[in-house]
Each structure stands twice: as C-alpha cells, then as structure tokens.
Amino acid sequence: MPMQNPKAYLTPATLTPVACFLYYFQRHISLSYLAAGVIVLGGFFLLYATWEKPFARRLAKTVFPVLAIALLALGLWQFLQLRDPGDIDHASYSCALWNMARGNPWYSINNMNFFGTHADYTGLLWIPIQALAGEWGLKAGKCLCMVFAAMLAVRRFRGNPDIAGWGAAALLLSPPLASQFFNGFHLEYLAAPILVLALDAFREKRLARFLLYAAFLAYSKEVFTLAIGGMLLVAVVERRSWKWILLPGLLCSAMMGLYWFVILRHFAPEGNNLESFMPHSLAEIMAMWFRRDTLFYFFHVGLPFLPLMLVLPKRYLLLPLPLMVFYAAFTSWIFESMTTHYNYPVAFLCFGGLILAANPPEVRLGRILMACAVTALLSYPIWRPNLSVPAPDFARVRDVHDIASQVPGDAAVLVSAPFMARFAARKDVSDWTYRKRPAETYDYILIDRGFTPEFHVEKDRLERDLDSLTHSPAWDVAFARDGLYLLRNKLSPVPPPRP
C-alpha cells in the first residue's frame, strides 16, 4: 500500500537526493539536467511510495545488471570511437605490460623502470589478458573488476534483492566508479575485488585471510595501505585484540619500507617523478587540509553514501578517512577529482560500513540504498567531462586501423593522438608532449591534428611542428587524411611493412 503519512517522506533517504539535485543544479545550471533531475526524482518518489508493489521488486532485481551492461557498453563504445580521455594512461600501462612480458622492465612512455614507479606489482597479472585480448581486454577487464567488486560487496544480501540490487547500483553509479568506465586503464583495478574481500575477512575476523589480502593490496598500489589503515582504526574503536592492529600494521609498514628504501632506491635512484605533486612543508600540508576545496572533496565523495552512513554505526566513517586525508594533502587537483582514478577505493570504503555491519537494518535498507543510487546518479555533473556518447565514425576507425597496419611492430613511434593505446604494445613508444628525446630519433610519427587538449598540446606549436615535418626532406608522409598524419623517418633502419 502507498504510504499515507507525509512524514514518511521527510527522512535523510528522501531529502538527500533532493538536496543533491538542488546543489548540482545551482552549480551547473542546465535545462537538460533540470529536466532529467525532475524525471529521476519523480521516479524515485514513486518507487519509494509503492515499494511493496511487484514492479518495484522487479526493478530491484534488474537495476544492477542493466546498469553494469550499460556502463560497460558505453565505455567500450567510447574506446572504439577513439574518444577515451584516459588513453595516455592506458597506453603507458599497455607499454609496460608488453615489455614486462618480454623480460624488459623499462618502458619508454614514462622512460622509467616498471619497478621504480608505483608499488603496483600485482598488475603483472594483467599480462595474460593483454596477450589474449590486447587493449580491448585490458579496457573490458578493468570495467569487469569494478562490476565484480560491486557484486561481492552485496553478496551476503543476495537473498534480499532490494538490498543487493540497489546497493550494487549505488556503488557503480558513485562518481569515483562511474567515471572510470570512461577513463582508460590502470593496473590497480585488479585490487577492487580484493579490497571487498579484505573487508569481508575483517568482518568475519579471519586474520590470516585478512593479512593475505592486505599484502596483495599493498603491492597493488602503495596507497591501498591507507585503506587497510582505515580498517585498523575501526579495529581500535572495536577494541579488537592487539593482533588485529599490530600484525596488519607491521605487514604494511614492512612492505612499504621494502618498496621505498630498497626497491625504489635500486630501480629509480633519481626518484619516481612524483616530486612535483608532493607538499614541501607541514605548513603547506595544513593549508591544503583546511582549504575550501578539501571540504568540497569530502562532500562530493560522501554525499551519495550519506543516507547509508547515517543509519550504520558511526565508527565506519573512519574507513575512508586515512586515504582521503592523504589525498587532501597533495597540491594537485587530480587527487581530489572525481574524473581521475585515484578515488575509486574511497567509494568502496564509504560503502564499507554495510560490508562490515553485523546486523544492518534490513527492513528499510532497500529504500535507503535506492536513495544512495539516485543521489549518485544525480551527482553525474561532477564527472561529466569523462563521458561522451560519440556518433559512429567508422571511417576514422578504419583510418587508424590502416595506419597501424603500416607501422612495423619493432618501430619506435612518437604519437600525438587520442588513441595512443592502439600503438603502445611495443618496445619504444612515446607521447609527443612528454617525449624524452628528439623527434628525429623515432622511426614513425603519428599526429592527429584535431587532438589539441589545453592540458596537453599547444595547438599553434603543434601546427608549426606538423608543417615543418611534412615539408622536411627527412620524412615521408605515409598517410594523410582528415587531419591524421603518419610520417616515416627516411633514415629509419626499420623497413616498412610489405603491402
């Protein structure tokens, strides 16, 4: 029966989506967002009022699989149409994996040793995926890791489709996760299911299993030790035995000590190129923590999970705190952005209270998680730059395929294009802007004249360089069509492929 009491609609679960809509509308005034928001909120209140109806139950069972398929399909379509904004990161890791598979830890895009960048050594498990399915396999695999982790996060509620369906949907729609279906590839997404399993082991008090997962996470990326740190704070509040605090803390400290003071000093004695992001003094750290942007960072991450966090024990608010405080100390905006990959673990930690809670309030939890999912959906404007639904341009896709067929696998390639990942599985490939040596040392240069994002390329300079190259007697124009140029170095020792 529909609820008759108006007060039933004045709860955090109903007010949070409305507040979220009003907040983002005043920040991103848009008629399309206004129309979409009204429709979404109307549907939300209709479902909230008719919760026991068969339609609402059927929707709870289908919302997660439909959402997962839609996000995966849109992400792969964007990648197919050469519009993935995370392409350069995808290319970087693709180059690293290809070289590591051949026993070469040096990868040219970063001009660094794989072991001297991040402590992401479990990422080598992606090598068979790349060997079997190439760049498509890496892209799809990353997305499936997020989907699988969301499924694991609600698996103990699979007997209650309201909780399982809307809970998993809320996770996938949260800005730190939804945005990453459209942002290249990164090695550490392999750790997403492991993070959830670590939370499960923590709840079940399986210390040996928890330590195994903690070790995997520590060498998936060093910041995951701070996710473990959030769990240890909860262990302190819960007054668990000393083993639950000391052993995981010692394990993570030992693994990070080995990374920072042994591995990094051996493989990257000059540093791992992170110095420009680091704060330089305690005063600067304090200034970063107490700036206005940090407040908005906590608000943007936590808002979609607010209805859930308000009904769970407040000690679980500690879970994301160490990682978020760490990110807030950096001087670069990228660590607090919802468009980059850094905050995806934070989303799982914000949701972690539901994974850890022994007796969550299941009677009303389905509605609360639906409110979280709707709030996450209404937070879309904050990660909007990642998403595009490009019109089909198969002619351009064929042109890129034709160019790839003209570049030998052992050629050194310099690229300025939004599809660098297609050319990255080779020994020597570099980005045009970030290259470490002169252009004439490469066998081929690939330039997309239309690819001039402000953060990456100076348009006028690229035009001058392209004009110089196309008129240079040292270079042959192997391909030129619709702004795509492939140039071959006449002095290259690598023979062109046979027609």
pLDDT in tens, 80-89: 999 999 999 9
Q: What angle do CA 100, 106, 110 make, to 5 degrees?
A: 115
Q: Of residues 32 and 6, which shows the higher confidence score?
A: 32
- The Cα 160–Cα 238 span in angstroms is 28
Per the CB < 8 A criterion, the answer to whether 138 and 94 are in contact is: yes
- The Cα 499–Cα 496 span in angstroms is 9
What's the pLDDT score for residue 7? 63
Q: How far is CA 141 from the centre of its chain?
A: 12
What's the pLDDT score for residue 1? 40
DSSP state letters, 114-175: GGGS-S-GGGGGGHHHHHHHHHHHHHHHHHHHHHHHHHHHTGGGTT-HHHHHHHHHHHHHSH
Confidence class for position 383, pLDDT limits 50, 70, 90: very high
- The Cα 157–Cα 164 span in angstroms is 5
- The Cα 356–Cα 450 span in angstroms is 49
For the segment 328-382, what is each residue's pLDDT rounded down to a tens digit?
A: 999 888 999 999 999 999 999 999 999 999 888 777 899 999 999 999 999 999 9
β-strands 112-113, 444-448: how paired?
unpaired
For the segment 255-288, what is each residue's pLDDT rounded down to a tens digit?
A: 999 999 999 999 988 776 677 777 888 999 999 9
In the predicted model, is pLDDT for residue 2 greater than 80? no
Q: Please, which residues have CB within 8 angstroms of residue 229's CB and are 6 or more apart in sequence?
A: 249, 252, 322, 323
Mean of all residue pLDDT scores within the chain: 92
For the segment 163-204, what is each residue's pLDDT rounded down to a tens digit?
A: 999 999 999 999 999 999 999 999 999 999 999 999 999 999
AA letter at 440: E
In the predicted model, is pLDDT for residue 457 greater than 70? yes
Name which of 95-109, 113-127, 267-281, 458-472 the model is least confident about.
267-281
Name which of 71-75, 216-220, 448-452 the model is least confident about.
448-452
What's the pLDDT score for residue 32? 93
Q: What percent of the chain has pLDDT over 90?
A: 80
What's the pLDDT score for residue 268? 84
Total Cβ atoms within 10 A of residue 245: 16
Per the CB < 8 A criterion, the answer to whether 327 and 335 are in contact is: yes
**Residue ranges of the domains in the chain?**
6-83+118-386, 394-489
Confidence class for position 317, pLDDT limits 50, 70, 90: very high
